[in-house]
């Protein structure tokens, strides 16, 4: 822990855990953010110079995925840079490595190098395809991994192509979140006496884990082609509908009591076909047409008022900018201004060890002097203890 963290008086549940994050994007960045949000001291080892950024303009102070970290810039192709990384590893509980298989080994900061200087460290490598296999060295992004493992084909309508779910599934919900969980489990095992180990997290595998429910439905014979199923817009009561003002309402009235409440709100409760469509798949297309007609009569905001007091699992679809005005979002302060920038609040909420964002995203190398001073102090203490 840094002196600044110790003096703040606000400690998340991971206070006392240190993670060295070798700079990367996507899953490694998100996983490290989650750990920092939870209170870990995450030191990000950045490159001294910027790498290619396909989106053009870049301000490190607005890269919210880097929030809560300290940054040191090191040239990993130089002996001094490698030595500093290994020195940091001696102080850490875990290392996050975002490189393709073999790259860290060639640099001299591979798993054997890190476990040699710290036998208890958790060495977590996160890749697209996994650490081995015929495609381990191939380039790829979220959309490619979802294409290969069958996830992407599940998302979309029956009469259209697969729809990329941004990069929320492979990069973040799969790779990044599982990376954070894997590191915590590895630290728990290490502190329990097992010692350090290598953790292999891939977006290919992590995103496939999220489809366990689909494989369950498939095994039961209850999953067909894209857009014909309960959860993929096949069912009339699990879909989105256009309103009169060209906005949308979301409907998730899967259970019968919610479905009947939906029909009641739309004045369709006396329609035998609509009632029967809840359990009769042959009526789904006709029921969807009827719901499409019904929602087109009023505006989104008018429908929001209709359903506000009803338990029908219907919610107006808001833009990112509009979401901040949702009553529940406001009550929970979901998008606070942190260091002057609106962003998602750190979650979950703890009653005794509340989460805070300790610092804004750092400038590259911003905390180098502080980190190096801590390393020198660590070396002095270690030398003294060895006497």
User: What are the Cα distances from residue 88, in Å, to 85, 91, 121?
Assistant: 5, 5, 11
Give me the DSSP letters along 84-127.
HHHHHHTT-SEEEE-SPTTHHHHHT-SHHHHHHH-TT-EEEEEE
Provide the token pair at 202. 């891939």
Furthest-apart CA atoms within the chain: distance in Å: 86
367-376: long-range contacts, CB 8 A cutoff, minimum separation 24: 367/2, 367/43, 367/70, 367/71, 367/72, 368/71, 368/72, 368/73, 370/2, 370/4, 370/70, 371/43, 371/70, 371/72, 371/88, 372/72, 372/84, 374/2, 374/91, 375/84, 375/87, 375/88, 375/91
Instruction: Name the catalytic one among 63, 120, 135, 141.
Output: 141
What is the Cα–Cα distance from 203 to 152, expressed in whole angstroms? Answer: 13
Three-class SS of residue 135?
coil
* Residue 171 a catalytic site member: yes
Instruction: Name the catalytic one among 5, 113, 171, 239.
Output: 171
- What is the Cα gyration radius of the chain? 25
What is the Cα–Cα distance from 356 to 11, expressed in whole angstroms? Answer: 8
Pairing of strands 341-342, 337-338: antiparallel
* End-to-end CA, the chain: 24
Cβ distance 256 to 278 under 8 Å? yes
Contacts of 105 (CB under 8 A, 6+ apart): 111, 112, 113
User: What are the Cα distances from residue 155, in Å, to 152, 219, 342?
Assistant: 6, 19, 30
* Residue 141 a catalytic site member: yes
Residues annotated as catalytic are 141, 171
């Amino acid at each position: 822990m840094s002196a600044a963290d110790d003096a703040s008086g606000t400690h998340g549940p991971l206070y006392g855990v240190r993670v060295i994050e070798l700079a990367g994007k996507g899953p490694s960045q998100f996983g490290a953010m989650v750990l920092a949000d939870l209170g870990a001291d995450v030191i990000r080892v950045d490159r001294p110079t910027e790498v290619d950024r396909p989106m053009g303009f870049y301000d490190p102070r607005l890269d919210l995925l880097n929030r809560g970290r300290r940054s040191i810039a090191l040239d990993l192709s130089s002996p001094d840079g490698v030595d500093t990384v290994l020195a940091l590893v001696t102080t850490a509980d875990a290392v996050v490595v975002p490189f393709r298989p073999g790259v860290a080994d060639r640099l001299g900061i591979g798993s054997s190098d890190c476990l040699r200087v710290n036998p208890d460290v958790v060495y977590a490598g996160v890749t697209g395809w996994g650490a081995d296999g015929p495609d381990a060295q191939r380039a790829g992004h979220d959309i490619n991994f979802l294409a290969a493992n069958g996830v992407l084909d599940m998302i979309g309508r029956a009469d259209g192509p697969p729809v990329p779910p941004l990069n929320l599934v492979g990069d973040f919900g799969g790779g990044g979140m599982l990376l954070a969980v894997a590191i915590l489990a590895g630290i728990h095992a290490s502190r329990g006496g097992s010692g350090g180990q290598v953790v292999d997290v891939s977006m290919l595998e992590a995103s496939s884990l999220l489809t366990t429910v689909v494989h369950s439905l498939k095994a039961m014979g209850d999953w067909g082609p894209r857009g014909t199923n309960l959860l993929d817009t096949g069912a009339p009561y699990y879909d989105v509908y256009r309103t009169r003002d060209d906005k949308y309402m979301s409907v998730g009235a899967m259970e019968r009591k919610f479905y009947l409440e939906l029909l009641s709100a739309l004045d369709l409760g006396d329609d035998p076909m609509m009632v029967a469509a809840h359990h009769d798949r042959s009526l789904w297309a006709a029921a969807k047409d009827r719901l499409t007609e019904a929602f087109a009569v009023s505006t989104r905001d008018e429908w929001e008022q209709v359903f506000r007091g009803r338990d029908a699992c219907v919610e107006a679809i808001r833009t990112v900018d509009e979401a901040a005005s949702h009553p529940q979002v406001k009550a929970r302060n979901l998008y606070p201004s942190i260091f002057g920038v609106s962003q998602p609040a750190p979650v979950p909420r703890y009653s005794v060890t509340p989460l805070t964002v300790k610092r804004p995203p750092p400038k590259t190398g911003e905390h180098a002097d502080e980190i190096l001073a801590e390393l020198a102090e660590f070396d002095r203490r270690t030398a003294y203890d060895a006497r």
